[in-house]
Amino acid sequence: MNLQLISLLQQSIDCMQNGKLSEAENLVNRVLIIDNKNFDALHISGVIKGLLNKPAEGILALQSASKIQPNNPFVQFNLAKALMENGRSRDSIKHHERVTELSPNNPDGWVNYGKALRDLGKFEKSLFSYEKALAIDSNDFQAWSNRGVTLNELKRLDEALTSYEKAIAINPNYYEAWSNRGVTLNELKRLDEALTSYEKAIAINPNYYEAWSNRGVTLNELKRLDEALTSYEKAIAINPNIGFIYGSYLHLKMNMCNWRSFDADLAKVSSMVSQSVEVSPPLELLSLCDCPSLHLLNTAHYVDKKFPIAFSLPPIPQRPINEKIRLGYFSADFRNHAVSHLIAGLLECHDRDNFEVIAFSFGPQPDDPMRLRVKNICDQFIDISTLSDVAATQLARDQKIDIAIDLTGHTQYGRMGIFANRAAPIQINYLGYPGSSGAPYIDYIIGDHLLIPTEAQKFYSEKIIYLPCFQANDDRRVISDQQFLRSDFGINENAFVYCSFNNTYKINPNTFNAWMRILKSTDNSVLLLLSDNGISSLNLKNMAVESGINPERLIFLPRIAYDLHLARYGLCDLFLDTLPYNGGTTASDALWSGLPVLTQTGESFASRMAASLLNSLELPELITTSQKEYEHLAIHLYYHSSELRLIKEKLRRNRTSKPLFDPKFFAKKIEGAFYAAVNRYAAKLPPHNIDIS
């Protein structure tokens, strides 16, 4: 190499080390113009372009350098790191392996290899890599902290805490370890300690956006919503591109009924989803927009980033189906929860001569009557809450599950990683998450023809199992004998009582404005709502005032025991559903309690659930297709009490004579679908739409 090129390269390195990156890039480019195969120039260029946030160009330069000197550990290290940091961990693996071969005593090589393996869900191998790093340098605080993250993924939470604390003991100012420690404490529900840990990280580095974001999650769980919102806003201000945080931020605003900038927020999130930006977890988008194409695009992108097809376990070889088909129901909600209120009757009514029912439980584990009931009605009840996704998947395989049914999906405590590793030959998305899983490893979703019309099949990554109605129901839901009096809540006995007991985040400005117009047209009426948090109640009352409605006509009721909640429907005359996220279990509860539900259908799964229930009960007169029609009917029934009385009488008859609340009927139908699915599998045919309607 001539002296001019050597001088230019040295100047480039000096500029890079002094933070003059553009000048460094210009200098190294001058070398490459003269000699485009200069190894040192390509290597230095790759590093500089990475620092300048030009990852594609940087990786290309490093790959060129790697071809020239494949045994150079430094270029292999930088190339592996660049690939991993830009979402290409699978491509980086061979380069990480080469680094550990060429420089086996370099702890940084083992640490980065561990990170890439963790990205790919290979947690045991990742842990081994960190152990190798620590064997070389036991004071490597980054290795200790990263080891803790992997232990957290393996559900070895106490060991994870010990690992973080080791990192902090070595370097008390290592803010990432403090933040990671907070994540594990949050998972252990030691929320105040988690908050302290995040705040320690922020005190060390006020611009560490991940700690601000994680702090927002914990504050939300602590119901300190204003503080949580501020924490999210701080994280977004520091880094607007934090993966999937924006949807969580908007979901919190929806839960608070904070609709300032709602239209602008919705336009922004829709645009970001269209551009495949990491914008929102799937559930959070359902209450924001009624666009099934956006829902699928967002969910598929989320799955690809968070839960891609895993290769930790070998594929399940083709095998005969068990003599009794083994059903694995996976849920975080085998407890006093909406999912169990629906599914318990089905679990009870499965034909035990031909099916074996195994519950795989994760998430909270309260010792409540519903959890005990599910334990008693399943053939096996297995707690997998302390198992990693891979270990839980292996356990399901060891149990020779034929069909794995995910009852949680993209809702709180979801474990999509279990299904990414393939727990059973056939995997089904059902009930917990109202929409497509977006996952290539989920074979079927259960719906009905009203919920998922033929023309909407393109918005689902799964094949459709069509039943008469998508929703399982339990006919043993107990309604308390307690008689609630309207006077207990300050309601005039002669008033017309509308209600909507859907979660607060399902209320949006369009729905609320419709309700206010309904109240304005019906003088002697009130609206009962759930008091999820004081902030949302205050905001809704203030917006009622802005609409010219006396805020006292909005009456907020606390959450109470389930049987009492069902009895409380007796106070009401008409349930007003929300759009685009309908009531699911909530609508079913109202109908079971004898209260008519007025709904407006949309285009998405979530916006057609209540219509599906009403259709199953042969109550199409309560299904509307526009906001104008919805408002008109709500007002019409106020003034035509005889019509409403006839609808209530029809509901009382149909509740027992139609199939919606008949778990035995539902069990036979869904079992027919299961037979069809296993027959296709046995014939080595791919999943296909199944119609048992």
C-alpha to C-alpha distance for 97 and 47, rounded to whole angstroms: 20
Judge whether 231 lies within some domain: no
- The C-alpha angle 564, 569, 574, rounded to 5 degrees, equals 170
**Residue 479 maps to a domain:** no
How many domains is the chain partitioned into structurally? 2
- Give phi and psi for 510, each to the nearest 5: -65, -45
Percent of the chain past pLDDT 90, that is, above it, reads 90
Count of alpha carbons within 13 angstroms of residue 209, beta-carbon side: 14
> Using CA atoms, how far apart are residues 100 and 117, in angstroms rounded to an integer?
13
Q: Are 543 and 508 in contact (CB under 8 A)?
A: no
Please write down the long-range contacts of 320-325, taking CB distance under 8 Å and 24 or more positions apart.
320/682, 321/402, 321/678, 321/681, 321/682, 322/356, 322/400, 322/402, 324/352, 324/353, 324/354, 324/355, 324/356, 325/354, 325/355, 325/356, 325/402, 325/403, 325/674, 325/675, 325/678
Strands (E), 396-524: 403-406, 426-429, 444-447, 463-466, 496-500
Indicate whether 203 belongs to any domain: no
The amino acid at 616 = S
Domain identity same for 643 and 511: yes
454: domain CATH number?
A: 3.40.50.11380
363 with 510, same domain? Answer: no
Eight-state DSSP code of residue 314: P
418/513 same-domain check:
no
**Residue 432 sits in the same domain as residue 498:** no
Predicted pLDDT at 32: 84
Beta sheet of 623-624, edge-to-edge order: 554-557, 525-530, 496-500, 574-576, 597-600, 623-624
Taking the C-alpha atoms of residue 380 and residue 402, their distance in angstroms, rounded to an integer, is 15
Asked if 550 contacts 664 with a C-beta cutoff of 8 angstroms, the reply is no
Per-residue model confidence (pLDDT) at position 317: 96
How far is C-alpha 213 from the chain's CA centre? 16
Q: Name which of 329, 335, 334, 331 is nearest 355 in CA terms.
A: 329
388 located within any domain = yes
Q: How many residues does the chain have?
A: 693
Q: Are the CB atoms for 437 and 406 separated by under 8 Å?
A: yes
Of 407, 603, 661, 609, nearest to 502 by C-alpha is 609
* Domain, as residue range, for 509: 486-658
Q: Examine residue 194 and state whether it is found in any structural domain, yes or no.
A: no
Count of CB atoms situated within 10 Å of the CB of 482: 12
CA 651 to chain centroid, in Å, comes to 35
Do residues 430 and 508 both lie within one domain? no
Q: Strand 463-466 relative to strand 496-500: parallel, antiparallel, unpaired?
A: unpaired
121: nearest Cα among 299, 309, 301: 309
Instruction: Report residues of the chain scoring pLDDT below 50.
Output: none
Contact 137, 153 (CB under 8 A): no
461 and 467 Cβ atoms separated by less than 8 Å: no
In 10 A of CB 497, how many CB atoms? 19
Per DSSP, what are the bridge partners of residue 359?
A: 329, 381
pLDDT in tens, 48-70: 988 998 989 999 999 999 999 99
Query: What are the C-alpha distances in Å from 459 to residues 265, 271, 578?
Result: 23, 18, 22
Do 419 and 556 sit in the same domain of this protein? no
Which of 466, 500, 520 terminates a domain? The answer is 466
Is 357 in the same domain as 401? Answer: yes
Q: Assign 317 to helix, strand or coil.
A: coil
Q: What is the pLDDT of residue 272?
A: 95
- The pLDDT score that the predictor gives to residue 256 is 98
Buried b / exposed e across 341-366, counting CB within 10 Å, b at 16+?
bbbbbbbbbbeeeebbbbbbbbbbee
Indicate whether 594 belongs to any domain.
yes
- SS3 breakdown of the chain: % helix, strand, coil, rounded to 5? 55, 10, 35
Assign residue 627 the CATH number of its domain: 3.40.50.2000
Q: Both 530 and 624 in a single domain?
A: yes
Would you say residue 83 lies in a domain?
no
Q: How many CB atoms lie within 10 A of CB 50?
A: 20
Same domain, 535 and 410: no
Residues ≥6 apart with Cβ < 8 Å to 427: 403, 404, 405, 406, 419, 441, 442, 443, 444
Which value, in Å, is the radius of gyration of the alpha carbons in the chain? 28
Q: Report the candidate in 606, 272, 307, 266 with the shortest Cα–Cα distance to residue 456.
A: 606
Cα–Cα dist 497/44, whole Å: 72
Any bridge partners for residue 500, and if so which?
529
Contact (Cβ atoms closer than 8 angstroms) between residue 640 and residue 580? no
Residues 504 and 550 in one domain: yes
- 584/637 same-domain check: yes
Query: Tens of pLDDT along 576-632?
Result: 999 999 999 999 999 999 999 999 999 999 999 999 999 999 999 999 999 999 999
CA 88 to chain centre: 23
533 & 648 share domain: yes
Residue whose C-alpha is closest to residue 432's, from 453, 446, 418, 443: 446
Nearest by Cα to 575 from 588, 563, 562: 588
Closest Cα to residue 447, out of 463, 464, 459?
464
**To 5 degrees, how large is the angle CA 273–CA 277–CA 278?**
100
Give residue for tokens 């940087």. 58
Residue 620 resides in a domain: yes
The neighbouring-strand residues paired with 360 are: 330, 382
